[in-house]
Every structure is written in structure tokens, then in C-alpha cells.
Structure 1
Amino acid sequence: MTHSLRTLLHGAGLLLLGFAGLVQADPQHAITLYDEPPKYPADYRHFEYVNPDAPKGGTLRLADYGGFDSLNPFIPKGNVERRIGMVYDSLTYHAQDEPFTEYGLIAEKIEKAPDNGFVRFYINPKARFHDGRPITAEDVKFTFETLIEHGDPMYRHYYADVAQVVVEEPLKVRFDFKHRDNRELPLILGQLQILPKHWWESRDFAKTSLEAPLGSGPYRVAKLESGRSIRYERVADWWAKDLPVSRGQYNFDAIVVDYYRDMSVALEAFKGGQFDLNLEYSAKDWATGYESAALNDGRMIKKAVPNHNPVGMQAFAFNIRRPLFQDRRVREALGLLFDFEWSNKQLFFSSYKRTSSYFENSEMAAHQLPDKEELKILEPLREQLPPEVFSEVYRPPVTNGDGIIRDQKRRAYQLLQEAGYRIENDRMVGPDGKPLAFEFMLHQTNLERILLPYKRNLGELGIDMQIRRVDVPQYINRMRNRDFDMTSATWPQSNSPGNEQREFWHSSSADNPGSRNFIGLRDPAVDRLVDGLIRADSRKGLVAHARALDRALQWGFYVVPNYHVNTWRIAYWNRFGQPQKTPLYDYGLMTWWQDSDKPQPRDEAVAHKEEGR
């Protein structure tokens, strides 16, 4: 068959696929993963976790870490300002009190084929970019094709099952799928942040830029100092301000973000009233860093908000592209020498829990032996997976917290001997006579105090770990180039994991510099488990596939699991109004508003200082 004939027949097949189920499909105001009814009906007025009458006004001042040199979040270059997404609207909006439901935003209606062969979006005729130009189906197609061709390689994995994008009418666009068993795909396509074709046609999308981008979202960039600060201003005539998905949200007239090189400096700035809210990641600072008169008398609030999301995996990650880490026994041995219990007691005020799952804090975590459903998934892969997957529950090593880890060292030494290592002149050397030595790359100063005890434990077995701290731009470049031995990494998870797992673990992402396959995984069994998870046809099936994948990753010893906390730790100056109800899967900052009756925190700090003179 000639190439042109194959192309013609393939195109005809796609057309048939596009029209399949057309009569039966019915446009909806929202879509869900397994076609269950959404929480909010078609005539809903607003989400229940907002105050629909929240006043507009004021300035929210925030802080961030490290700086930025780009306002283009869609390409694998530069250090992007992390809140630039506020400039853009997406086709749909993800509700913060449902696991995975998408409500119409730019797309006022969504039509999903009964056989999941396509999804069709009906553009709201009111949808506008900030320059007043309407958002059209052509903009949607342009966005998708631009991301695939010039964007971060992550998009090619995320949208790998899209066969074509068809502009059917000026306000109607259809995505046809290569396979009909990727149930998540219609929802994640709804999360596309739409770019203005007319604006980008005269610019190079593949280059980093600090030019304020044209968007259609609730905020626009008003002012910036490269790497130091950025000011967003609310779009007063935002086209979507009265939609049910928007009502009661985006209440601040301005959001200003200042960047700090050191988070300890940022904490002092927060206590001095230089910004309004701090999301705390340090257990030490959370326990002791906020003590002040302002906290005691209620001018500053410190609150732990329950987090019902999976926390995913935070870990010390091996780069198994390095020959040193390709032996599973070596990786297991190195993991045994991280004493979490001592660190938690001495460094973290016993505030953390040990992470043992890639889907921690969720029903998808493999915290028990595989059941019948999981075994059906795993059995065909038995010869390719570690035997422990089928017979044991993975648990990281546990110590008594006194810093003495003889049992763990003994087992680590045994594993290294099995892998051909030996002690020679107080150094652990391999079968090739080379020392067991590697570099741990980081950019956060506060991680060093956690690594130093680990380095000491490794050193007692003759293993040399050098800690190399680099600046943020160098860190980003080295991560993209996979130029590291070991580093700290996170893989966040949602309540409905799916296509992003290809970017995390699949062989197809191992060589893509923008992917989160930091480990360098190229495992056919893991590939099959990832594909099976993406194509799960029910919540029960999704959970079973996630647990099966979890086991394969756990017993591969690809990381040294760290720790987690199942709350958001937030501190803020008491000048905000908040809805009575907090969303289940967020702490809801964009639903807050400024209470004009309360003074600015900077004024409070100055007044308090003068009172103490």
C-alpha cells in the first residue's frame, strides 16, 4: 500500500471516528472521568466553597524563591514565574471540591463521544482575550499544535493519544483520539490554556521572554523587575467574571510577588510585614520560626489546613543512567542508610510521616498485599518484576531514632557484597576497583542539614557522597540535561492519575529533557503498567492499576523515600475575609478577599515596634 493511500484511508478512518456516536452525544456543562453526575447541576450559580458576594479590592502580597527569567511557561527553557497561569483561561475549570470534574469556562459546553472516540468543545461567544479579540476554535487548534511542535516535551506525552484537531465551526472544535480507552483525555484537553493565535504569529514561541503575554484570564501582568518581583492586576472587564466557575474568586485588585534567594530571609521579611501569606515547608520554622507578639495577640494567624490530595513522592532520586546506580542492590543499600526516625526527631520536631508510596495519602497507595484485581494486572509481568511485588508489602527501613543503625548498615554491606563491592583502604570499591562515590546536587540551602547525617552514615561504610549546591539556573539546566548523580525530586499526584504518568515513568520520556522521568526509567513492565492505568475504565480499575504500578516502583528502589505531611501549613496576617467552607482539595487562597477594616501588616509591625520602645 502506498504512503499516500495509507494516509487517505487513515484520514477517512478519523472522519468516521469523529462522527461516531454523534447522534447519541449530548453537550454538557461539565464532564467527569467515569460519566458519573457532577456535583453541581447545569443551573448552578457558584461553587459552595466561595462567597459569591465577596468584595473586590486590595493587594495580596506574596513571596517566592529563586527568581525568574521567563514568562513563557509552555517551553522547556528558562526559570518561569510560577503564577503566570493567572493570565490565561482554559477550556474548562477544575472544581476544587471534586476529585476530577471539569466545568465549562472558555468552552460553555463539552460533548464527549459515548465511545470516547472524540471530545468536542463549544466556545462561549463571550470569550475574549484581553485586547478584546474573540477566542475562536482556530485559537484552540493553534494552541494545541504549537504546544506539540514547540512546547515542553511533556505535552507530547500528555496528549499522545490525540490523532487530530478539527475546526468544525468558528466556535466549535473537535479532538479525535487514536484509542478509545483513554478516559482521562477529554478532561485534560479541557485544561488547555488557550493562546491567542494573532498575537503569537509575530513572535518566536520557542524562546524565553519577559514580554507580558496576552491572555484571557482574570489577571494581566502590570509590572515586573526581572528575577525580583512581578505585579499582576485584576482585569476589571474580564469576560468570565460572572460565570458560575468564577463568581466569588479572584477578588484582589492586584497580586504582587517578591522573590527571595533564601527562605530564611523570606520568613523574617514575612514577620516584618513585607508580605501577607507564607506557605511553610520547613518543619523547624513551622515549630519555632513564627513565635512573636503578633502571633500571640492574633494579628498573625498560623493554621494547618487538612490536605486531602495524594502527596505523591518526595525523595532522593537516583539517576540510573549512571552505571553506578543500575544495580538494584546498590540502590537498596544506599536507601537503608537514610535514618528517617533520627532526622524526624532531631530536625523535624517529629512532625513528619515517612513516605512509602508514590501515591501516598490516598486509597491508591499499595499499603497491603495485592488483591485479586491487582494480581490479574501483575501476573502477566511476573518474570519482569521483582518477586517481592507479589509477596511482600514494601516498607522503608525503621530505626529507633537514636542514630545507631547497625542492622541497616549490616544489611547494606551484605547487599553491596552481593553486587561485587568490597572494603579497601576504608573505602567501598566496586568490581572495577573504582570507589563507590557520587555527587548529590541541590539548590536549597535548608536541605544540607538533612543530607549531612545521611552523608555521615554513608561514609561509615566507605561510601563518598559529595554535596554540591548550585544556583537555580544551573540546577534547572543540569536537571534538563540529566547531568546529575543523585538529587532531591518530587512527583506530585492527583486523585485521578493518568496521562502524566507517562512523563514520570514511561520509557518514551526517558530521553526528553523536559520530562519528569528524572530517574531514567526504561522498563517494559512499568510501561505496561502505566498504559494500563491510563486506560482504566472505572474508579475501581484505576485504583488497582495505580497500586500495581506503585509496587513495581517501590520494589525497584529507584529512590530513597523522604517524608510528608498531610496538611497545608499557612501563616498569614489577619486582614483577610474567607468563605465559611474551605475547598476539599485546596486551601482556597483565590477565594479570599481583603477585609478593609483591618490594617496592613506592615503598619501593624511598625506600630508594634514603636510600642516596644
Structure 2
Amino acid sequence: MFRLSLFKFTRLLLFCYLSSCSSLLFASAWQHGLSMYGDFKYAPNFAHFQYVNPNAPKGGVFRQAAIGSFDSLNPFIVKGNAASGITMIYDTLLAQSRDEPFSSYGLIAEKVKVASDFTSVSFMINKKARFHDGKSIQASDVKFSFELLVEKGAPHYRSYYSGVKDVVVDNDQQVTFYFKEVGNRELSLIIGQLPILPEHFWADKDFSTSSLTIPLGSGPYQVESFDASKRITYKRVKDYWAKDLAVNKGLHNFDTMIFDYYRDDSVAFEAFKSGNFDYRLESSAKRWATGYVGENFDSGAIITSKIADKNPQGMQGFWFNLRKEKFKDVNVREAIALLFDFEWANKTLFYGAYSRINSFYSGSELSTQENISAAERAVLRPYKAQLPKAVFEPIKFLESSADGNVRGRLRKAVALLELAGYQLKDSKMQDKNGRQLSFEFLLYSKDFERVVHPFRRNLQRIGIKTSLRLVDVSQYINRLNNFDFDLVSLRKGQSISPGNEQSGHWGCDSMMEPGTANWSGVCHPVIDQLVTKLIMADTRKELVQTTKALDRVLLSQHFVIPQWYLPAYRIAYWNKFSRPNIAPIYDLGLSTWWSTQAENDQEESQ
């Protein structure tokens, strides 16, 4: 259910998909994979995924950039900043299909069996499964991995796996997970994405301590060398135990994967144009519109491409830290949000490239619309006394004329702040004790300063004092993990099948855990109850309507100042790679690429 995202920063972000097919209970029998409602695209004994070239040649080097630095090779804990790409050395029980909604197929686990009432899931370990040192993967390694991550891993593992009651090693090749509740369809798939760690390797090591000790895995790559904070190099495992499995055919084609570190994105861009690395995912609309020009682009030496991103876009925005007293009043948060003029920024700074985000589940059928539906109203009716009246009214998605005139918003913001006990006096927005309302924007990218400065000017016009602190990625992560911030700019990706991970995003139990995914420190009884209802949804229809209702409540609390989204990947790469004709629907698919030189060498040898 998860894919890598903030662990571009140091930890795994979890990501899943769900089809809208009708409900179908799992039979309590061994299967070749798992699907939320039992609807598989790939039958048993399938040859390979449709979006790969099964004959892709192996060989060549693929070089990427990373921003900041790294001081750890352990991506599963809060401490330290883990090296980019480190999760490539690990395999999971199941491998997720990237061209169908929410299905996974056998990897370390050759077969899987789910109880008909969804109270347990059993995995049969592939007898060929091996760690890189040649030692076979046992069911005891699965139990060990689960318990290690829950006990010593990042806090989100505890909340994510909280529905597991017990793990039992049935025999050397079989392990069963027993669940606390009946009917949690998603939990079996979540367990299927468990990374498996070698018990014998960690027996004499402290897993909870950040370290540059090269870890042992079982995946398609292993660490070849590294220069801390500067570069890490991975080599393809030539005798990789799972290279011939259907889920790996046509994947992991480069012999060498290199991540070079740069202090900021602007420096990295110049290095890319000079040929210091091969591939770039562009996040700046201005740079995309104006920077990708010159001889190498004109000649085709560098290829640019815009590829549709069909994943839900989630929420990107400025996240308030509600642990700070000054942000506890929703009127204060709404007032500040009013003064971010997206339309002006989009026209002036972004060349009109983006759309405004108006949902925590944007880009999917899960996002609520302006007017509340009868189904959402029915979900929310039991909590009516605990919710503001605005939840049941049309959502007012503000739009400006993009001319920089925000006088109307300034007046409304002042009125909201007065409701919160503030008064504009001597050009300062002061509380009842005469203290000026002030806060700090915490950033890790210099490119974002041009977005924040106009926002700050609008805030200053009503006497709100702001500052901006630019730190490197390691400091940023450390401050985020320890709640040492006022406002941060982050994107929280979402799944088309939100489920157990939502408790880590919004639950009271997660708000004070260091390294939590609950960045804002949300704790609201109705939100907790809606998350539980969402997790236990029996049908796709129930899940959609509950998610929309949750979205409406989250929006009403103004935890985040929404920014923008672009449902596309903007990529550039040097013209020495090939891609399959069919792209995966729910992924960019870099693992399916191969070296053109390796392809030429292969043809010459035939």
C-alpha cells in the first residue's frame, strides 16, 4: 500500500490504490496475490506485468541527484537522514502492481491466504528467497521484521500496524498475522508491503541508532560504496534470487544506480545541464518554462517530457503547527490562509501552470465538492453537535482576480482575528496582552522564497509579523520530526483507497509522536471517529462517501493553507535511455527503463 515519497527525505511514505468493483469476499484459500475485492488483472502463473519490456537488456549506469545530505543507511527510523535509494536493497512479502488499483502479487511470499472474515492473513515464503549473504529467508525473519519496526521503527509503523493482534510462525516457511477486528480488508495488503529484514544481521546491532553500517537486504540492488553526504552507489545483484519472478521481469535493468548530492536544487539543475547526472524530475514551473533551453535541448541530447500523473494528488500546502498556542484558534488559521493569493501567484510566478488544491484528496473521486451531498450529510449527521455549522454549508473556495488586490480579504482576515481576541493597534495585530501575532516560515528550498515573500507582504499589511528561515534538508527533517516549526510547506500524498494510514495522518494518538505523519498535530474526536469508519468500510461506495465527509471536516478546520497541484510529471533526461511502449498507470516507471547502449551491445552480440 505504500510507495516512496517523503523518504526521499528519510522515511517511507505509504501509498495504495483501490478499484471500484463490487464487493467480493476472499476465499480462505492460498492465492498468488491479494486484491482489495478479489479482482485480479493478472492470473496465476502470469509471465510479467504489461507495462514492462520483459526482454529489456541489463547494463549501464543511471545517475540521479539528491538534495541536502545523508548520514544514515537506515530508512526505517526517525533518527538521521537516510540515503536516497536505500530501500532498493529490500524486498517485501508482496510486490504491488502499478497498472491496476490496489493489487499485489507474490514476491518473498509465494502464496497468501486471507480468512473469509478478514481476521488473519497467512504468507507462504518462497523457498528460493535469499538475503544477499545467501542465507534463506524464514518465516521467523518476517515476524522479526514486524516486531522490530513496531518497537524501534519510525512512529508511523506503530499506528499503521496497530490492527495486528499477534504474529505466529506456523513453520519455517509460513507465518500468520492475526487481527484485532473483523472486516478490515486493507490490513492484509498493508502487511504484504512489509519490508523483510534479516534477523541474523541485526542480532548484534542497535536498530534504533542512526548508522552508516551497510545493511543486509534481499532486493535487486545492494550498496557498493558511499561518500557520506556526497554520493551513494548501488550495484545490481547479479544472482538476485527473484530476478526471474513475474513481478520482476523487465525491471531493475541498470547495473549501477548512483545518487549524487547537491546543496540545493538550483545547483543540481546546472549540474544536470552539464551532464553530471542523467535524469531530473522538475518541480519548478518557472524553471520548466524558462530553463530548459539551449543547444542540448535543441539537438535532442536532452529530452523533456510531460507525463500524466493519474495518482491522487493529495494536499500540498503550508501546514500549521497546532501544538503552538497561537494557532489553536481556527479563526486565526483561516485569517492567515485568506492572505495567500494563489491566483496572483499562479499568474505571476507559475506561468498559469497549476490548479488550486481544494481537497485533502484532490485529483480523485474522493474529494468533496462545494455543495454537500445527501450521502455526506448522512455520514456527518451523528456528529452535528460537535461540528461547526459551516461543515453542512457550501464550501467557499475563494478566488481572487489575480491582480494583487486583496483588500476584501484583508478586511475579512481582520474581522476573524478580532473574533479570536486580537486587535490591530499601532500597525500591529496584538493579543489581549499586547503581544504581536508573529510566526516563522520554515523552508528547505530557496526556490520557495519567491512564493513566501508576497504572502508575507499581505500579512504585514494587517500587522502580522513573519520571518523566513531557510535550512538544509537534514535540519528541516529534524525540526519537523521534533515539532520545532510554525509553518512548513509540504505535500501529503494520498491513496485512492485511504485506510489505516489515515489514523497516522490525523489521529490523536499520533499527534505527539516524534517523526509523526500528523504534521499539524491534529486531534479532533469527530475526525478520529470518521477515520475508524473509513477503515472499516465494507463497500467502495461507503469508503468514498466517508472519505468525502472526512475531507469536508478537515477543510473546515483550516489545518493547512492549500497551495496547488499539477497532475503530471515534468521530466528531463539525457538521450541514452529507452522506455517501454506502455507506461504504468500509477507510477512514473523509472524501474522499467534501460540503457540504450546496453541495448545496442545486446543487438551486436546476437
Q: Please say whether Structure 1 and Structure 2 have the same fold, judged by a TM-score greater than 0.5.
A: yes
Q: Give 1:77-156 correspondences, 5 Å limit.
A: 77-156=79-158
Cα distance in structure 1, aligned partners of 2:165 and 2:174: 17
- Whether 1:34 aligns to 2:32 is no
What SS does the corresponding residue of 2:51 show, helix, strand or coil? coil
Pick one of 362, 368, 371 that aligns with 1:369. 371
Distance (whole Å) between structure 1 residues aligned to residue 50 and residue 370 of structure 2 = 36
| Equivalent in the alignment of 1:473 | 474
Measured after TM superposition, the shift of residue 82 of structure 1 is: 2.6
In structure 1, the partner of 2:539 is 538
Aligned ranges 1:154-553 → 2 under 5 Å: 154-395=156-397, 397-553=398-554
Q: Are the equivalent residues in 1 in contact too, given 2:537–2:543 (CA < 8 A)?
A: yes
Shift of 1:414: 1.3
Letter paired with 1:266: A
Say if 1:86 and 1:218, in contact at 8 Å, map to a contact too.
Answer: yes
Pairwise CA distance, 1:496: 1.4
Deviation at 1:391, TM superposition (A): 1.7
Return closer, same or farther for 1:67/1:548 CA change in 2, 3 Å cut-off: same
1:25 alignment partner in structure 2: 28
Aligned-partner residue type, residue 362 of structure 2: E
Counterpart secondary structure, 1:128: coil
Amino acid at match of 1:554: L
Partners of 2:285 and 2:350 within 8 A in 1: yes
Structure 2 SS opposite 1:596: helix
**Structure 2 CA distance for partners of 1:286 and 1:598, relative to 1, 3 Å:** farther
Residue identity in the other structure for 2:35: T
Could you tell me how far 1:170 is from its partner in structure 2?
A: 0.3
- Superposed displacement of residue 394, structure 1: 4.6
Residues 468-521 of structure 1 show CA distances to partners (whole Å, capped at 9, x for unaligned) of 122322222221111111111221112211111111100010010121111111
Amino acid at match of 1:28: Q
Q: One-letter code of the match for 1:542? A: L
Residue 4 of structure 1 is matched in structure 2 by none
* Aligned residue identity for 1:504: H
Q: Write the deviation string for residues 277-310 of structure 1: whole angstroms up to 9, x where unpaired.
A: 0000011111111101111121211111000001
Q: Which SS does the other structure have where 1:408 is aligned?
A: helix
Aligned residue identity for 2:275: G
Letter in 1 for 2:433: D
Q: Distance in 2 between matches of 1:330 and 1:96?
A: 42
Match of 2:335, as an amino acid?
A
CA distance in 2, matches of 1:300, 1:106: 38
Could you say if the C-alpha distance between residues 420 and 32 of structure 1 is closer, same or farther in structure 2, counting changes exceeding 3 Å?
A: same
- What whole-Å deviation, never above 9, does each CA across 1:32-89 have from its counterpart, x for those lacking one? 1123x21111121000000000000000011111111101011111011131110000
Distance across 2 between alignment mates of 1:82 and 1:258: 9
Give the corresponding residue for 1:8.
none
Relative distance call for 1:507 and 1:394 in structure 2 (3 A) is: farther
Q: For residue 260 of structure 2, what is the amino acid of its counterpart?
A: D
Kept in 1, the 8 Å contact 2:119–2:178? The answer is: yes
Distance 1:214 1:324, change over 3 A: same
Using the TM superposition, name which of 368-377 and 556-565 deviates more. Answer: 368-377
Q: Secondary structure, in 3 states, of the residue corresponding to 1:302?
A: strand
In our comparison, the structure showing a higher alpha carbon Rg is 1
Counterparts of 2:393 and 2:220, CA distance in 1: 52
1:146-182 CA-to-partner distances (Å, cap 9, x unmatched) read: 1111111111100001000000010000000000122
Contact in 1 for aligned 2:60/2:598 (Cα 8 Å): no
State the shift of 1:369 in Å. Answer: 2.6
Query: Aligned equivalents of 1:323 and 1:394: distance in 2?
Result: 26
Residue number in structure 1 paired with 2:603: none
Residues 520-565 of structure 1, C-alpha deviations (whole Å, 9 max, x = no match): 1110001011111111112111111111110011010111101110
Is the contact made by 2:57 and 2:598 (CA closer than 8 Å) also made in structure 1? no
Q: Distance in 2 between matches of 1:316 and 1:575?
A: 38
Q: Residue type of the partner of 1:32?
A: S
> 1:104 offset after TM fit, Å?
0.7
Query: CA separation in 2, counterparts of 1:26 and 1:180?
Result: 18
Residues 199-228 of structure 1 show CA distances to partners (whole Å, capped at 9, x for unaligned) of 110111111111111000000000100011
How much identity, in percent, do the aligned residues show?
48
Q: Is the 8 A contact 1:70 1:210 kept in 2?
A: yes
Alpha-carbon distance in structure 2 between the residues aligned to 1:186 and 1:291: 48
SS in 1 for 2:224: strand
The Cα of 1:430 is off from its aligned counterpart by 1.4
- SS in structure 2 at match of 1:467: strand
Query: How many Å separate the matches in 1 of 2:283 and 2:511?
Result: 29
Q: Which amino acid aligns with 2:189?
A: L
SS at match of 1:380: helix
Moved more, 245-254 or 404-413: 404-413
- The DSSP-based 3-state class of the residue aligned with 1:52 is coil
The one-character-per-residue Cα deviations of 1:335-374 (angstroms, maximum 9, x if unpaired) are 0000111111111111011111000000001124333332
Equivalent pair of 1:357/1:550 in contact (CA under 8 Å):
yes
> 2:565 — aligned with what?
564
Rounded Cα–Cα distance in structure 1 between residues aligned with 2:519 and 2:302: 39
Cα 1:24–1:301 shift into 2, 3 Å: closer
Number of aligned residue pairs: 576
CA distance in structure 1 between the aligned counterparts of 2:419 and 2:118, rounded to whole angstroms: 50
The whole-number CA distance in structure 2 between the counterparts of 1:416 and 1:364 is 32
- Counterparts of 2:252 and 2:342 in 1: how far apart (Å)? 40
- Secondary structure at the aligned position of 1:549 is classed as helix
- Displacement of 1:598 in angstroms is 9.4
Q: 1:415-455: CA deviations, max 9, x gaps? A: 11222211111111112321111111122111111100000
The answer to whether the 8 Å contact 1:394/1:554 transfers is no
Where structure 1 has 5 or more consecutive residues not aligned to the other structure, the ranges are 1-22, 600-613
Which letter maps to 2:31? Q
Question: Which is further off, 426-435 or 187-196?
Answer: 426-435
TM superposition shift of 1:465: 0.9
Native 8 Å contact 2:281 2:569 kept in 1: yes
Shift of 1:597: 7.6
Give the AA of the match of 1:293.
Answer: E
For 1:534-613, list aligned pairs within 5 A: 534-596=535-597
Where 1:184 maps in the other structure, the secondary structure is helix
Give the equivalent residue in structure 2 for 1:14. none
Matched-pair contact (CA < 8 Å) for 1:218–1:234: yes
Alpha-carbon distance in 2 for matches of 1:585, 1:218: 21
Q: Could you tell me whether the CA contact under 8 Å between 1:270 and 1:278 is conserved in 2?
A: yes
| Secondary structure of the corresponding residue to residue 185 of structure 2 | coil
SS in 2 for 1:181: coil
Deviates more, 1:122-131 or 1:535-544: 535-544
Deviation at 1:24, TM superposition (A): 5.8
Shift of the 24–314 alpha-carbon distance from structure 1 to 2, 3 Å rule, reads closer
Q: Which amino acid aligns with 1:30?
A: G
Cα shift readout 1:239-295 (whole Å, capped 9, x = no counterpart): 000000000000000001101111111111111111110000011111111101111
For 2:478 and 2:258, how far apart are their aligned partners in 1?
27
- 1:356 and 1:394 in contact (8 A); partners too: no
TM-score normalized by the length of structure 2: 0.93
User: In 1, distance between residues paired with 2:566 and 2:596?
Assistant: 30
**How far is 1:236 from its partner?**
0.4
Cα distance in 1, alignment partners of residues 111 and 317 from structure 2: 41
- The match for 2:10 is none
Query: 1:394·1:551 contact (CA, 8 Å) conserved in 2?
Result: no
